[in-house]
Amino acid sequence: MAKLVKKKKKLRLEGFAAVLLFFASVCYVSSSLFLRTYNNSLSARQQSVSRDIAALQTENDALKIEVQSLSTRDRVTGIAAEDGMTQNQGNIVTIAKAGE
C-alpha cells in the first residue's frame, strides 16, 4: 500500500509580497482620502476664522473712532457746562516731561 503524504503548503515569497502590496495600497488610498478630507475641513475653518477676525477688526476700528469722538475736549466741556460747571483757570496745572 502506498503511503499518502500530505504536503504543507508553503507560503511563497511572491504570495506574501502580493498580500503585503495589497494591504499597503489599501492603507495608502484610505489615508490619502482621510487626509484630503481633513485638509479641506481645516481650510474651511481657517477661512471662517479669517472672516471673523476681519469683522472684529472693523468693529474695533469703529469703536476706537467712537471713543475718540466721545473723549474730545469740546464734548467734555459742553457736558460740564450743561451741568452748571465752569472751568477755573487757576486750578489747571501743566506737567511737562523732564528735559523739555
> Could you tell me if residue 13 is inside a domain?
no
> Could you tell me if residue 64 is inside a domain?
yes
What does the pLDDT average to over 25-53? 97
> Could you tell me if residue 86 is inside a domain?
no
Q: Tell me how far apart the alpha carbons of residues 46 and 44 are, in angstroms, rounded to a whole number.
A: 5
Q: What is the pLDDT of residues 1-16, one digit of tens each?
A: 667 766 666 668 888 8
- Which distant-in-sequence residues (6+ apart) come within 8 Å of 86 by Cβ? 80
Joined grid coordinates for residue 17: 509580497
Q: What is the pLDDT of residues 51-65, one digit of tens each?
A: 999 999 999 999 999
* Total domains, the chain: 1
> Could you tell me if residue 6 is inside a domain?
no
> Could you tell me if residue 71 is inside a domain?
yes
Confidence of residue 93 (pLDDT cuts 50, 70, 90): confident
Domain hosting residue 55, numbered range = 51-76
Is residue 35 predicted with pLDDT exceeding 90? Answer: yes
> Could you tell me if residue 44 is inside a domain?
no
Is residue 47 predicted with pLDDT exceeding 70? Answer: yes
